[in-house]
Amino acid sequence: MSNSAELQKTIDDMIDSERGILAADESTGTMTKRLEAVGVESTEENRRWYRSMLLSAPDVGKYICGVIFYEETLGQKDDNGTPLPELAASQGVIPGIKVDKGKGPLPGAPGDMITYGLDGLEERLDGYKAQGARFAKWREVYPITDHNPTRLGLTANAEMLARYAAACQAAGIVPIVEPEVLIDGDHSMYRAAEVNEQVWHSVFHALHQHGVVLEHMILKPSMVTPGKETGKASPEEVAEMTLKILRRTVPAAVPSVNFLSGGQTPEEATANLNALNHLRDKAPWHLSMSYGRALQEHAMKAWGGDTGNREKAQQAFLKRAKLNSMARQGLYQAQEEEAA
């Protein structure tokens, strides 16, 4: 199978009108914080058990089309000895992998960040593919201040995303391109819109320069919201502003926009996704999600480190997955939080 046919097959398997992506790619440090918050020690065994519990939830493939693994998880097995990528695939969930190596300050651009991990990426992609990964994810982070992101920050981060995406497609792996504009701060919604527009414009300029085939990638952006110290915007306001800026910057050739949920509660992320899909007739792309905490938070609390809570935790996870599937179709209503 040619790279193009292979990439298109993955896109076809991952994109439909009802399902979204589970981001289970938390680094060991992030996972440790989340587990400790519910009183669970962050051992490799606990991380393995928890993630295999999510992937073995009954009929999870009805609501989830893909799962982003952390490198550790890609090599783990469930209690029956089944590799977790194989477990996911058996549920109709496409395995993927986070390939960046974390972030740090960008020299020459105070306040901006840059993500590491391009060195050796081609070889790592071949290894991940042999383990079952069919798509990948790379995240660049953009703090908002009066001065950030700088012009250098915009250019450098876009270049990293484009080089990563080109390497993925050369390896037959679909890239998820994640430019996350952080919700931290007291900026207005209009400032957030301004920054997102700059970010998305710079990213697609770089993708074009590096020859990335837009039909064979997925965009994972932030929704346009005010800074978390400013207050909340309504789902309708978030949807209107987000779609306005997307239409200015994202080519119609991109098949799907899978939003991240950073900084939102599970309920807010679902309501905002629902509002976006009320406007989907104005969008040339699928409007879906790639949520981490917004899909997992209730399940992790329900588990609490007790294997006897397996079914309870799975049901909590499936509830959020189902509600987001409804939001994906514009059918979610807030009262369903209790009924689902």
Spell out the domains of the chain, with CATH numbers in brackets.
3-339 (3.20.20.70)
User: What pLDDT does 148 receive?
Assistant: 98
Whether 178 sits among the annotated catalytic residues: the reply is yes
User: What pLDDT does 54 receive?
Assistant: 98
- pLDDT category at 334 given cuts 50, 70, 90 is confident
User: What pLDDT does 340 receive?
Assistant: 53
Separation between Cα atoms, residue 222 and residue 25, nearest integer Å: 17
Catalytic residue among 98, 140, 180, 220: 220
| pLDDT 10s digits, 184-230 | 999 999 999 999 999 999 999 999 999 999 999 999 999 999 999 99
How far from the centroid of its chain's Cα atoms is residue 280's Cα?
Answer: 20
pTM of the complete model: 0.97
Separation between Cα atoms, residue 44 and residue 41, nearest integer Å: 9
Residue bearing tokens 């609501």: 63
CA distances from 303 to 49, 157, 308, 317, 334 (A): 11, 37, 8, 10, 24
In this prediction, residues 51-64 reach a mean pLDDT of: 97
Separation between Cα atoms, residue 64 and residue 14, nearest integer Å: 9
User: What pLDDT does 127 receive?
Assistant: 97
Separation between Cα atoms, residue 162 and residue 147, nearest integer Å: 24
Residues of the chain above pLDDT 90, percent: 96
Provide Rg for the chain, Cα atoms. 19
Catalytic residue among 26, 71, 159, 178: 178
- pLDDT category at 339 given cuts 50, 70, 90 is low
| pLDDT 10s digits, 234-263 | 999 999 999 999 999 999 999 999 999 988
Q: Enumerate residues 6+ apart whose C-beta is below 8 A from 204.
A: 249, 250, 251
Whether 220 sits among the annotated catalytic residues: the reply is yes
Give yes or no for residue 135 having a pLDDT over 90: yes
User: What pLDDT does 338 receive?
Assistant: 66
In this prediction, residues 292-319 reach a mean pLDDT of: 96
Cβ 256 vs Cβ 285: under 8 Å: yes
User: What pLDDT does 333 receive?
Assistant: 87
User: What pLDDT does 60 receive?
Assistant: 98
Cβ 117 vs Cβ 101: under 8 Å: yes
Separation between Cα atoms, residue 168 and residue 176, nearest integer Å: 9
- pLDDT category at 2 given cuts 50, 70, 90 is confident
